[in-house]
Amino acid sequence: MVVLLVVFLASAGAAALIQHQYRLSDRRYAQAADQYTRPSQAPQEMDLPREGEEAPPPVLAPITVDFAALRSVNPDVAGWLYCEGTPINYPVLQGETDDTYLHRSYDRSYSAAGSIFVEADNRPEFQDANTIIYGHHMKNGSMFSALENWSQPGFYEAHPIMWLLTPERDYRVVLFSGYTTSAYSETYTIFSVPEEGMDWYLPMVLEASDFQADAALDEAGRYVVLSTCAYVFDQARYVLHGMLEEADSAGGLPLTAEP
């Protein structure tokens, strides 16, 4: 009985510690979103088309990010990933190795949830043909746990895009494929040069998708692969593919805006 009581108390203590760590992580990232992001406001002055001329409206990110302040905390901040109507609203880091932010928050403090981070072998500023972005599948629904929602009927239709904001340029992330795969599959092949290998890679990931997307893919384009753990078999991962479309903003601010 004494042994069983000790085991019970140890298990309860471990569970309580995990829940405490989850709450700390959620609070830290909620504070980061409050401190460094704002909903976008319509620009006060834009170059509008003259009477009789037609021009498409500028494509602007729905939030603004204070990257100067963020990078003063940590220069490893590579961007900010946002998807309306989901918990995905996080800074994106890139460290020297893939272990750097596995269990460290954006401010480099210890965190069981870690950070959303770019594959260390990818070139910075999302220059590669496909950039891999990792995040933990937390049991409280935070970080990249939401990725598996795209396997459910109707979820893609309600959430067909994300936003990737960077200090240099913002991107609409046009989602086009989501599926379960192995951590060792060809999904994680990195193509640095557009068009090299994308002729077989894009059809492969489209065929595997849990949903049908009406996206015009370009072999010369740039893409991201969002990846998190799945628990359907050993070393399973759920991945979501998106095509990067350049927006007319950087950090949520119009590119034509004066500093």
DSSP 64-120: EE-HHHHHHH-TTEEEEEE-TTSS-EEEEE--SSTTTTTSB-TTS-B-TT--EEE-T
Q: Please state the rounded mean pLDDT for residues 216-223.
A: 93
* For residue 10, pLDDT beyond 80: no
Terminal CA-CA length for the chain: 69
Q: Is residue 14 part of a domain?
A: no
Please say if the pLDDT value at position 20 is more than 50.
Answer: no
Q: State the CB neighbour count (10 A cutoff) for residue 80.
A: 30
Domain assignment of residue 93, given as a range? 59-254
Q: Is the pLDDT of residue 22 over 70?
A: no
- Whole-structure pTM value: 0.87
User: Looking at the domain assignment, is residue 10 inside a domain?
Assistant: no
259's CB contacts (< 8 A; 6+ apart) are: none
The residue among 181 and 49 whose pLDDT is bigger is 181
Question: Do the beta carbons of residue 236 and residue 181 sit within 8 Å?
Answer: yes
> Between residues 100 and 22, which one has the greater pLDDT?
100
Q: What is the number of domains present in the chain?
A: 1
When pLDDT is averaged across residues 123-151 and rounded to a whole number, the result is: 96
Is residue 40 assigned to a domain? no
Q: Is residue 235 part of a domain?
A: yes
pLDDT of 180 reads 98
Whether residue 80 is contained in a domain is answered as: yes
Residue-wise pLDDT tens digits, 182-210: 999 999 999 998 777 899 999 999 999 99
Q: Would 16 be classed as within a structural domain?
A: no
pLDDT band at 21 (very low <50, low <70, confident <90, very high): low
Is 51 within a domain?
no
CA separation for the pair 224, 255 (Å, rounded) = 23
Nearest to 148 by CA among 227, 33, 75: 227
* Those residues with Cβ within 8 angstroms of residue 133's Cβ, 6 or more apart along the chain or in another chain: 81, 92, 116, 117, 118, 119, 224, 225, 226, 227
Mean pLDDT of the chain: 89
Rounded to whole angstroms, the Cα distance separating 168 from 251 reads 7
Average pLDDT, integer, range 148-175: 97
What is the pLDDT at residue 24? 72
Instruction: Residue 107: give its domain's CATH number.
Output: 2.40.260.10
Predicted pLDDT of residue 253: 95
Please check the confidence at residue 158 and state whether its pLDDT lies above 80: yes
Average pLDDT over residues 135-140: 95
Residue 191 contacts residue 200 (beta carbons within 8 Å)? no
163 has a pLDDT exceeding 80: yes
Element (H, E) at 180: strand 171-182
pLDDT higher than threshold 80 for residue 4? no
Residue 195 belongs to a domain: yes
